[in-house]
Amino acid sequence: MAKRKKKAAKSVVEGSQERLSRKVYEKELKELHVELVKLQQWVVAKGLKVCIVFEGRDGAGKGGTIKAITERVSPRIFRVVALPAPTEREKSQMYAQRYLVHMPAAGEVVIFDRSWYNRAGVERVMGFCTEEQAQKFLKVVPLFEKMMVESGIILVKYWLEVSPEEQRRRLEDRINDGRKIWKLSPMDLKSFSRWDEYTRARDEMFAASDSSWAPWYMARSEDKRRVRLNLISHLLQQIPYGDLTRDAAIKLPKRGTLGRYKAAPYPFKIVEERF
C-alpha cells in the first residue's frame, strides 16, 4: 500500500470533539484525494473489482461522504449506484436481480448509496415486504455476499450512525434550506417517527450479515467532516494498493506554432457576463 504520513486531524480545540475546522478538513481531504487517485490507477492496472456499500438512517451523511470519495476520481471507474424504488416488473423478479447488473467488472469501483439491505431496513420497517421475506433475506444474504467475494469482488460495507438529535437537526435543515429540499423525501418524513423500529432492524441485520468475509464497519457521523476523513482513511486501508504515479513521468509536449490559422468570425451567442 502506498504509504501516507499519518496525521491526527485536530479539531479547533485540541482533544475535544468540537466540529472539525474547514481549514483542517480541506487540508486532510486533499491528501486523501491524492491517495484515492493512486488507488484508482491501481484498480485499473490490476483489474480489481471493488464494491462499497453505504447504509444508515436518513440524514446520516451517506450522500456527502460518497461525494467526498468521488469528487476527484473518474466517474467511469468510481460508479455510484443509487436505485429508485423498484418497478412492478422488478418487484416480481428475484430480489437481488436488479442489483446484480450493477456489480463491478475488472477495473471498476462501484459504490451503492443504499443497497440490497433495503430489505432488512426500510422495506421491513415501512411494511414494503413481509416479515417472512425479511427473514429469508437475512438468512440468504451472507451466502449471496460469499458468492460475490469468491468471484473476486472486494466487498466493503459501511453503516453511518447518527444520533436522533443530529438527525432531527439535519432533516429540519433540509426543510428550511431551498438547496437541500430535494433531499427530503416523503419516506423520510414517514420513517422519522420509527427510530426504535429502525434500531431493532439494524441490530438484527448486523447479527445476521456481519460475516468474516463481508464484515460491517460502523462510522459515527455526528460531525460530517470527521466521518468523511475517517471513512476514506479506513477505505484506503481495506484495499492494498501501490503508487503507480511515480512510474508515469508526465511532461507537456511542445505546442505547435500559434497564429497560422485565423479563427473564423462566427457570430456566437455570448453568455452574458453578469458576475
Which residues does 95 contact at the CB level (< 8 Å), separation at least 6? 116, 119, 133, 137
Could you report how far apart the first and last alpha carbons of the chain are, in Å?
A: 45
Q: Please determine, for residue 45, whether its predicted confidence score (pLDDT) is greater than 50.
A: yes
| Rounded Cα distance, 205 and 142, in Å | 11
| Residue 248 banded pLDDT, cuts 50, 70, 90 | low
| Residue 254 banded pLDDT, cuts 50, 70, 90 | confident
Q: Please determine, for residue 60, whether its predicted confidence score (pLDDT) is greater than 80.
A: yes
Beta bridge partners of 49: 108, 153
The per-residue pLDDT for range 79-117, each reduced to its tens digit, is 999 999 999 999 999 999 999 999 999 999 999 999 999
| Rounded Cα distance, 270 and 253, in Å | 32
Which residues does 144 contact at the CB level (< 8 Å), separation at least 6? 96, 116
By the 8 A CB rule, do 112 and 51 touch?
yes
Q: Which helix (H) or strand (E) holds 231?
A: helix 224-238
The residue with greater pLDDT, 177 or 218, is 218
The per-residue pLDDT for range 135-168, each reduced to its tens digit, is 999 999 999 999 999 999 999 999 999 999 999 9
Nearest to 79 by CA among 98, 45, 105: 105
pLDDT (mean) for 210-221: 97
Residue 224's pLDDT is 96
| Rounded Cα distance, 212 and 66, in Å | 24
pLDDT (mean) for 238-254: 85
